[in-house]
Amino acid sequence: MASKSKSSKKSTVHYYGCVYGGCMKQGWVQIFETKEDPEEYFTQFKDSYGSKVHGAYAKTTDEEEYFEKIQEKLADNHNHGKLYEVNIDTAKKTLKEVTGAKKVSLLGGDDHDEEKAAQSEAEEPVKETAKEDKKVKVKSEAKAETKPASKTSSKKAKEVESEDESEDEQPSEAESEEEVKETKKAAPSKKPAKQEAKEQSKAKETKAKSSK
């Protein structure tokens, strides 16, 4: 018997996505579905929303139609037709959750990506400079905190040394008293002039009496 050939059914690729930006109000997206090449399908939105419109899409080969599920997921934010008042990040997340796609690809990102790349390149040196400035500032603050402590310790050491030297130079109390006594003995006693005059007059009177 001839074996029955199994009919292989070719799966069709579906793309589910959204567009945003351009002249479309910020915070709004328009969702779409297509079996065409998403890059070519996306060009029609440039005629409606301008050259700066952007998009995102998820790719799936499942037979199941996901468009209605995406609409149900965003139903609370529905406004009119295929327009939804929803953040683009939320819209991308919804595309991935519903279709099970591992990633969301971007559309019309040439100008947008170049602008973001130029901006990131301009911001990168600024970030590096800020990091360097922060490092220098931290080092200078650490030095500033260390210097006063070292100055204080050196100052205290000098004060201790000066105190030790002054203690060595100063004589003890016993030595001071002995020096004072020796000085008094060596120095001739000085009497007041009046007392000397009286003693001299008494001496003269005594001499005169004895001569008589």
**At residue 199, does pLDDT exceed 50?**
yes
DSSP 46-111: HHHH-TTEEEEEEEE--SS--HHHHHHHTGGGEEETTEE---HHHHHHHHHHHH--S--EEES-HH
**At residue 150, does pLDDT exceed 60?**
no
Q: How far apart are CA 207 and CA 193, in angstroms?
A: 21
**At residue 172, does pLDDT exceed 70?**
no
Confidence band (pLDDT; 50, 70, 90) for 57?
Answer: very high
Query: How far apart, in Å, are the Cα atoms of 189 and each of 184, 193, 196, 199?
Result: 8, 12, 12, 15
**At residue 146, does pLDDT exceed 70?**
no
**At residue 53, does pLDDT exceed 60?**
yes
Lowest mean pLDDT among 58-72, 109-123, 141-155: 109-123
Structure confidence by residue, pLDDT tens digits, 100-122: 999 999 998 654 444 444 444 44
Q: What is the pLDDT of residue 87?
A: 93
Summary mean pLDDT of the chain: 74
The strand pairing partners of 205, in sequence order, are: none
Q: How many CB atoms lie within 10 A of CB 14?
A: 20
Hey, what are 152's tokens? 């204080």
Q: Which residues of 191-209 are buried (b: 16+ CB within 10 A; e: fewer)?
A: eeeeeeeeeeeeeeeeeee
The dihedral formed by the CA atoms of 21, 120, 109 and 106, expressed in degrees to the nearest 10: -90
Confidence band (pLDDT; 50, 70, 90) for 209?
Answer: low
Structure confidence by residue, pLDDT tens digits, 12-29: 899 999 999 999 999 999
Residue closest to 88 by CA, chosen among 15, 19, 14: 19
Q: What is the pLDDT of residue 52?
A: 94
Which amino acid is located at 85 in the chain? E
Q: What is the pLDDT of residue 203?
A: 76
**At residue 47, does pLDDT exceed 50?**
yes
Which amino acid is located at 196 in the chain? E
Q: Backbone phi, then psi, for 40, in 5-degree steps?
A: -70, -40
